[in-house]
Amino acid sequence: MTNAEPRGVTTDAERRAETVTTEVPADPPAAPTAVVETATGSGPHSDRDTRGPGARTVWATVFGAAVTVALAAAVQGWFAPFVVGLVFGTLTARWRVRARAGVLYATVAALGGWATPLAWRALFGEPVVATGRTVAALAGLPPSGWVVIGATLLIALIQALLGVWVGRTVSSLFTARG
Amino acid sequence: METTERWIVNRGLRTVRRCLHTAAAVIVSMIVLGTLALGSGTVPALGSALSPGGGVWSSAADAKGITSKTVRLPGMGSRTTVSFDSAGVPAVHASSDADLYQAQGYLHATFRLTQLDLERRTAKGRLAEIQGPAGVKSDTFELQTGLLRTARSAWSAMPKDGPDAKALVAYSRGVNARLAELRESGNWPALFTLTGLYPQDWTPVDTLAVQSLVTQNLNYSISPLVYELLRQSLGKKRTMEFFPVIPANEQSPYDPGPYRDLGVSPLPATDNVNAAVPDGGAARTPTTHASSADVDSMNAPASSAAGTLLERMKQLPATSMFSYPDSNAWAANGPKTAGGTAMLAGDPHLATTLPSFWYQIALSAPGTEASGASLVGVPGILVGRNQSISWSLTNVQNQSTLFYSEKTSSARPNQYFWNGSWRDMEQERYTIPVRGGSPVRLTVDRTVHGPVMTRAGQTVSVTWMGNYPSRSLKAMLAMNKAQNFREFRTALADWHSPTLNFAYADGRGNIGIVAAGHFPVVKAGEPWFPLSGTGENDLVGTIPYAATPQAYNPPGHILATANQRPVGPSYPYYIGTSYNAYDTGYRANRIYQYLESHDRMTAADFTALQNDVEDYLARKIVPRLESALESASLDARQRRALDQLANWDYRMTESSTGATVWWTFWTNYLSAVFQPWWDAKKVPVDKAEEDLTVSPLIPSLNEDLEVWTLRDPDNAAFSPPGRPAGDADSAMRAAFTRTVSELGSELGDDPASWRWGRVHTREIAALSGASALSYGPKPAEGNHWTVNAAEGGMNSSFGPSWRMVVTWTGRNRATASAIYPGGQNENPASPWYETFIADWWAGRLRPMPLANASRSSGVVWTLQPKG
C-alpha cells in the first residue's frame, strides 16, 4: 500500500492473496482446469479485473455516490444508501477486494450523503438540532436532537451495510458458478 | 478419487452455503427495507420519515422564521396583505370579508396545522387513526355524543348565502390553499411525516365540528351522574344539604334583578340532531302504560349506570368535558375609570397548552375592523375589540346536559318506553380506524332524548345543548362588526352554545354583560339528577333571551363575571346547582371588592387585578382559625406554623409560607368534616375520583364549610355518624395538627421554609402529550380561586389562557393590550413557539392594536388571486 492509497484500498498483491483465499479450496485436489482458469487468469475474474481501479477513482466514485445519495434524499429517494451499498458490494466483489473495503466505501457514501443535507439545512439557518429534539419528544425518545440525528444516520448506515451484504453475496454466487 | 469426491462434496456444500447466505441477505434486507418503507404497527415508515432531504427534517424549514413573499391563492378575490409584527402576530388587510377569512384560514393552517388536524380528529372521532388504541375511548365518546352529526346538520341547515356560510367556505379555502402548498413542497409538520397520515382537505363541517368540541369542553357536564351516586350513598336529604341548588355562601351576582318570568322559548325535540325523531320511530306497541312485567330497567339501580358511565368518562382526555370554573371579565365606567369613559378586562381560563387554543390576529376589511384572539379552526375573533366596542367572555356554567334514565325491557330489545308507547331506538354504525390495531365497530343507539351513553344496568341517554345546531358563528361575526351595545346584544341572540357571559365596554362609555345561549327548561323533575325518560321530565324549551342574566350600565359603574351564579336566589328559572357547576364566588367577590375600593382606575390597575393572588376565603377564615387555636396547646413547630399564618397577607405568592399552611389546612379541614360522612355512607369515590374526592375542587363543600365556620359552628355536619359530637373549633384544631404534621414530613421541620412554590407549580402542557415539549412545571403563585387562577391541582395546567385590557379614550379610540401563554407557531423548533410565556408569567401584556396601527416587523405576505 502506497502513502497515496487510503485505508481500505488494497494493493494488487493483497488482492491476489485475497483471490486465492476466496476461490481456492483449503486443501485443493488436482483441480479441474476450468476452476484453475477461473481462479488464476482467463474469464471475467482475470488478474486484470481483480486489480480494480486506483484509489483516486475509487474515492471519486465514493464522492459521486455520496452526492447521488444526497440528491436522491431530496426527491424522496430514501433508499439510495441501500442502492449505493449494493453497488459497492458488487464492485468490491468484482474487484476482489475485501468486504471491509466495500463496507467502508458504502458507509462513507451513505453517511456523507445523508449528513450533507442536514449540514446544508443547518448552514442556512434551519434549526436542525431543535427539530430533532421535537421529533425525539414526539416519538417518546430522550428529548435530544442528537438522538434523532443519530437515528437518521444510523438508518443510512444500516441500508448501506445491507446493500453491501446483498451485493457481495449475490456476486459470490455468480463468481462460484463462473 | 476419494479426494476428488471430497472436493466435489465440499464445493457443493459451499454452493449451498453461498445460496443460503445470499438468501439470508436478501430476506433480511427486504424485511428491513419493507419496514423502513411501510412502518410496522405504530412504528412509522422511518425511511421516508427520517430522510434528510424531506421527512421530519423538512419541518426545520418552517421553524426557521418567515420572510416576505407573494403567494397566489385559488379563490382569492383581490390582493390581500398580511404584515407580521416581531412576535408573529399578523395584521390582515383585505378588500372583502371573504378574502379576510380566507387569509385567516391560510394563516391558521400555516402556523397551526397539527393543532387543526388533531382538533378535527378529536371532534370527528378519528383520533385512534393517528394515536392508536389510546385514542379509541375518545373516538367512541365523540361519535356517541355526536359532534360530527351536529356539525353536518348545522352545515346542511345553514343558508349558503349567509355570512357564516360564506366565512366558512372562505376559511376552508384558505386552509386548503396551504394544504396544497404542502402537498407540493412536502414540508409537512413533523407529526404527519412521522405517522405517514396527512390531513385531508378542510371543510366547513370541520370548523363546525371543532366549534362543537370547544362547546363540549365548556359545557358538557356529568354532574347529574355524580349527584346520582351521592343520592345513592348519602341519601337525598344529606346530598341536597351538602350540594344545594342555591349556594350557601354570599355571592356577587352581576344581575341582581329585578327579574322577569317570560315563560319558555320553545326548543323542539326535533332540533336535537342527535336524538331519535320523536314520531319517526315506529311505535310497535302503543300502550298507555308499560306494565311492570314489561319493564326491567326500572329495577336496576340507577347508580350502577351512573358509576359505569363515570368510570368510562374519567378515562377520556381532560378536554372532553367541563372540568374547572373558567374565566374572569370585568368592566368599569364613569368615575371608576381615570378617563371617565369605559374599560374592560378579560381572561378566559382554559387548559394552558402549547400551542394555545388562541391565535392572535388583527383583521381589516370594509365593515370589519377587529383585533384579538381567534380560535384555531374558526374564522373571526372570539375575544377582542373593534374600533368601537370591546368584549370578553366567561363560561356561564349553567346546566347544559340532562341525563335520562330510559325505561327498557329485556323482552323488547332496542326499544324504550316514551310518551305511552314502546319506540324503536335509532341506530347508527361507525367503524373507528385504529393505527396499529384492528378497526373498532361502534353502534350508537339514540332515543328521543339523545344518544344512549350506557346500557350497564340502566339505559342512560343524554340531552346536551351542544347537540342543537346553532348559528353561533353568525353571532360571533356580527359581534365583530357591532358598533354599540344594541348591535352587540342583537348579534348574541343567535348565540346558543356554549352559554357564555359576554362582558362589554365601548367607546361611548357604556359597559354591560349578556349571558347568551341555551338555558334548558324541563317540564318537571329535578334536572340535577338523572331524569325519567318516559316523557314527563322532557325538555320543553329554554329561557327566553330577554330573561337570561344581563346587566347594562349599573349605578355602581362596575360589573364582573367570574363564573359565579350570575343571578340572585329570586331568579325565577332553574339554571343549575351549587355543584353544577358555578364557582364558589370567591374570585368574583374579590374582583368586586377590588373594583369597589378603587376609583379612577387605569389599565395598570386592571392588570394588577388580573394578576391578583389574594385568597378571598383565607381572609375570612384564617382569623377564625387563629381564634380556635388560642385555647389549644401547641408545640413549638405548630406555634411557628401559626406564626406564618398570623404574619401572612393572604396572598398566594410563590415565596409565601402562610399560603402553604393555609391551603393545606383548608384541604385538611374539608377532609376532617366531610370524609367521615363519605366513609360512613360509602360514597363511591373510585367511580369519579375528581368529582367525588373531598377536596377544594368541589365548590359546594367549600361554600358549606365557609358558612358553617363563620355562622353555624355547631352544624350537625361536624358530628358525623359514629364519631363524637364536634364543632367547627374542634375540626379546625384537628385539621391544623394534621397540616403541621404533613408539611413537616414533606418540607422539613422549619415552617419558615414552607414556601408555596415548593408544593405548587404550573405547567403549560404540549398538546401532543410530549412532556419534553411542554413548559414547566415551574413554581407558581395563585390557587384554585385566586383571580390569577391556577386550576387543576397542585401542578396547575389550567388558568388564564388569554389576558386582555382595553381602555377606551374616546368614541373610536382605545388602547388595548393582551397576552397568552404560548406563541403563534406550533412548531417547537420555531422562535415563536413560546414567545409570550415569559411576559404572561410575569403578568405583563403586549399591545393589541387594530390592523391599521399594527407595528410591522417588515415581513409582509402578499396574497394574490391565482389564475
pLDDT at B128 over 90: yes
Per-residue pLDDT, A44: 38
Amino acid, res. B650: Y
pLDDT at B655 over 80: yes
Buried b (16+ CB within 10 A) or exposed e, B335-357: ebbbbebbbbbbbbbbbbbbbbb
Sign of the dihedral through C-alpha A41, A44, A48, A54: negative
Nearest beta carbon to residue B829 from set A114, A131, A143: A131
Out of A19-23, A172-176, B579-583, B863-867, give the one with best mean pLDDT.
Answer: B863-867
Which residue of chain A is at minimal alpha-carbon distance from B44?
A139
Nearest beta carbon to residue A126 from set B55, B61, B770: B61
Which residue of chain B is at minimal alpha-carbon distance from A171?
B22
Residues of chain A positioned with their CB less than 8 A from the CB of B64: 124-127
pLDDT at A55 over 80: yes
How far, in Å, are B171, B313, B454, B726 from residue B306 at the CA level?
A: 41, 10, 8, 34
What's the rounded Cα separation, in Å, for the pair B743 and B758? 11
What DSSP designation does B364 have?
Answer: E
Per-residue pLDDT, A43: 36
Judge whether B696 is closer than 8 Å to chain A, CB to CB.
no
Per-residue pLDDT, B297: 52
Per-residue pLDDT, B578: 93
Q: What is the 3-state secondary structure (H, E, C) of B457-483?
A: CCEEEEEEHHHCCCCHHHHHHHHHHCC
Within a 10 A sphere around the Cβ of B829, how many other Cβ atoms?
A: 24
What is the percentage of chain A residues whose pLDDT exceeds 70? 69
pLDDT at A18 over 70: no
Nearest beta carbon to residue B57 from set A76, A116, A121: A121
Per-residue pLDDT, B1: 57
Nearest beta carbon to residue A78 from set B11, B18, B48: B48
The per-residue pLDDT of chain A, averaged, comes to 77
Radius of gyration over every alpha carbon of chain A, rounded to an integer in angstroms: 20
Three-state DSSP at B107 gives helix
Contact A153, A114 (CB under 8 A): yes
Per-residue pLDDT, A8: 41
Q: Place B862 in a pLDDT band, splitting at 50, 70 and 90.
A: very high
Summarize pLDDT for B281-304 with one digit per residue, the tens: 544 454 545 454 444 454 455 667
Per-residue pLDDT, B318: 65
Residues in chain A: 178
Per-residue pLDDT, A24: 35
Query: Counting runs of H as helices and runs of E as strands, what totals does chain A give?
Result: 8, 0
Per-residue pLDDT, B65: 86
> Which residue did the predictor score with more confidence, B652 or B866?
B652
What's the mean pLDDT in A80-103? Answer: 92
CA atoms within 13 A on the CB side of B135: 27
Three-state DSSP at A169 gives helix
What DSSP assignment string belongs to B774-810?
A: SEEEEE----TTSSS--BSSSEE-EEES-EEEEEEEE
Report chain A's terminal Cα–Cα distance, integer Å: 29
Per-residue pLDDT, A33: 34
Task: Please calculate the CA angle B94-B364-B86 and round it to the nearest 5 degrees.
Answer: 100
Which residue out of A23, A36, A123, A138 would a mutagenesis test of the B interface target, given it has the greatest number of B Cβ atoms within 10 Å?
A138
Contact A127, B64 (CB under 8 A): yes
Residues of chain A positioned with their CB less than 8 A from the CB of B59: 131, 134
pLDDT at A175 over 80: no
Residues of chain A positioned with their CB less than 8 A from the CB of B63: 126-127, 130-131
What DSSP designation does B614 have?
Answer: B
Summarize pLDDT for B330-355 with one digit per residue, the tens: 999 999 999 899 999 999 999 999 99
How far, in Å, are B591, B612, B658, B704, B756 from residue B795 at the CA level?
A: 24, 19, 19, 26, 12
Report chain B's terminal Cα–Cα distance, integer Å: 86
Per-residue pLDDT, B670: 98
Task: Please calculate the CA angle B171-B174-B175 and round it to the nearest 5 degrees.
Answer: 90
Collect all residues with Cβ–Cβ distance below 8 Å to A48 and sequence separation of at least 6: none
Check CB contact under 8 Å for A169 and B22: yes
Three-state DSSP at B725 gives coil
Domains and CATH numbers, chain B: 2-218+360-368 (1.10.439.10), 219-331+396-610 (3.60.20), 616-758 (1.10.1400.10)
The per-residue pLDDT of chain B, averaged, comes to 93
What's the rounded Cα separation, in Å, for the pair A56 and A47? 20
Burial class (CB in 10 A: 0-12, 13-18, 19+), A176: middle
Collect all residues with Cβ–Cβ distance below 8 Å to A42 and sequence separation of at least 6: none
The candidate with the shortest Cα–Cα distance to A131, out of B832, B47, B51, B829, is: B829
Angstroms from A10 CA to nearest CA on chain B: 24
| The three grid cell numbers given for residue B548, joined into one nine-digit string | 337570561
Summarize pLDDT for B470-529 with one digit per residue, the tens: 899 999 999 999 999 999 999 999 999 999 999 999 999 999 999 999 999 999 999 999
> Which residue did the predictor score with more confidence, A12 or B693?
B693
Residues of chain A positioned with their CB less than 8 A from the CB of B194: 135, 138-139
Alpha helices in B649-777 (DSSP H): 658-681, 689-692, 699-711, 728-747, 756-759
What's the rounded Cα separation, in Å, for the pair B606 and B618? 22
Which residue of chain B is at minimal alpha-carbon distance from A75?
B53
pLDDT at B766 over 90: yes
**Which of left, alpha, beta for B792 (phi over 0: left; psi -120 to 50: alpha)?**
left
What's the rounded Cα separation, in Å, for the pair A147 and A129? 9
C-alpha dihedral (B28, B31, B35, B37), degrees to nearest 10:
100
Per-residue pLDDT, B685: 93
Q: What is the pTM of this model?
A: 0.90
The candidate with the shortest Cα–Cα distance to B829, out of B776, B773, B775, B778, is: B773
Residues in chain B: 867
Contact B827, B361 (CB under 8 A): no
Three-state DSSP at A150 gives helix
Q: Place B541 in a pLDDT band, splitting at 50, 70 and 90.
A: very high
pLDDT at A26 over 50: no
Check CB contact under 8 Å for B48 and A121: no
What's the rounded Cα separation, in Å, for the pair B123 and B211? 9
Q: Place B320 in a pLDDT band, splitting at 50, 70 and 90.
A: low
> Which helix (H) or strand (E) segment is B47 a member of?
helix B46-49
Q: Would you give the distance in Å from CA B336 to the centre of its chain?
A: 32
Task: Please calculate the CA angle B327-B330-B331 and round it to the nearest 5 degrees.
Answer: 155
pLDDT at A150 over 60: yes
What's the rounded Cα separation, in Å, for the pair B739 and B669? 9
Per-residue pLDDT, A16: 42
What's the mean pLDDT in B415-425? Answer: 94
Amino acid, res. B256: P
Q: What is the 3-state secondary structure (H, E, C) of A1-70?
A: CCCCCCCCCCCHHHHHHHHHHHHCCCCCCCCCHHHHHHHHCCCCCCHHHHHCCCHHHHHHHHHHHHHHHH
Check CB contact under 8 Å for A166 and B25: yes
What is the β-pairing status of strands B328-333 and B426-432? unpaired
Per-residue pLDDT, B689: 85
Which residue out of B26, B43, B51, B193 would a mutagenesis test of the A interface target, given it has the greatest number of A Cβ atoms within 10 Å?
B51
What's the rounded Cα separation, in Å, for the pair A155 and B237? 68
* Among B residues 79-118, those touching chain A with beta carbons less than 8 Å apart: none
Sheet order of strands, B539-542 included: B265-266, B539-542, B520-522
Asked if the ipTM is above 0.95, the reply is no
Contact B509, B814 (CB under 8 A): no
pLDDT at B835 over 60: yes
Angstroms from B2 CA to nearest CA on chain A: 10
What's the mean pLDDT in B157-168? Answer: 96
Which residue out of A116, A135, A175 would a mutagenesis test of the B interface target, given it has the greatest number of B Cβ atoms within 10 Å?
A135
Three-state DSSP at B235 gives coil
Per-residue pLDDT, A13: 44
Summarize pLDDT for B553-571 with one digit per residue, the tens: 999 999 999 999 999 999 9
Collect all residues with Cβ–Cβ distance below 8 Å to B588 and sequence separation of at least 6: B251, B252, B560, B561, B562, B563, B564
Q: Place A23 in a pLDDT band, splitting at 50, 70 and 90.
A: very low
Per-residue pLDDT, B319: 63
Within a 10 A sphere around the Cβ of A64, how many other Cβ atoms?
A: 12
What is the β-pairing status of strands B389-395 and B80-84? unpaired
Burial class (CB in 10 A: 0-12, 13-18, 19+), B867: exposed
